Chains A and B, each alone.
Chain A
């Protein structure tokens, strides 16, 4: 199959705490992997991506490493800010023969001052 599984939220943290949002995928080939962020009232925007195993994507202090052995692409940030409060989606390209990427359900992050 072709699926992406994210940890359920909401994740509630205090400012400057360490963040991990788990994402695992089913391994049909070695696809690119993506994290999207959706700030309140807005559409999704690409946060970071990794195109092959052992790649690390990074942006805005967020990082995710594509780990083939565990089929995971966990999102991390060392010190979250209130402005990071958003919904985060993990995604992978479609399986062979399809145009439709697969998204996780999304994980809501709430950061308190």
Chain B
């Protein structure tokens, strides 16, 4: 089975701290995604990556950056955490690029971040 592992299930950080959220997938997937999920807003894409060192902004990239130095790892970075970044963060990966099954994503269990 494909496994997507997020490094932390729960984090509590202070305003202004630098925060790293790590995600690792074990099935050699090309594409990786970071979403945030907030009540009533569904899933919102922050960044995605379709190859090592390649990244593209999603719908809400402000306040975030990402790193993909290795194919299996996609990191989300909050340079200076703010209270409005308190949220559930979901990492996902997919094998297919633009093909018909490109909607088939594998998700991690999520990282719930609280910024005080």
Contacts and interface: CB of A to CB of B under 8 A. Distances in A.
> A interface, by DSSP: helix, strand, loop or mixed?
loop
Interface in A41-67: 41-46, 49, 51
Interface string A70-100: 0000000000000000000101111011111
Contacts of A101: 94, 102-103, 105
Contact of B103 (A31, A43, A97, A106): A31
A105 interface: yes
Contacts of A98: 98
A94 B98 contact: yes
Nearest to B50: A99
- A-B pairs with lowest CB-CB distance, top 8: A43-B107, A101-B103, A105-B42, A93-B103, A93-B102, A44-B107, A43-B109, A43-B110
B100 A31 contact: yes
B25 interface: no
Interface residues of A, number: 29
Interface of A: 31-34, 36, 41-46, 49, 51, 89, 91-94, 96-106
Contact of B100 (A44, A93, A103): A93
Q: Which of A31, A44, A51 has the most CB of B within 10 A?
A: A44
Given A44-B90, A100-B48, A51 B101 contact: yes
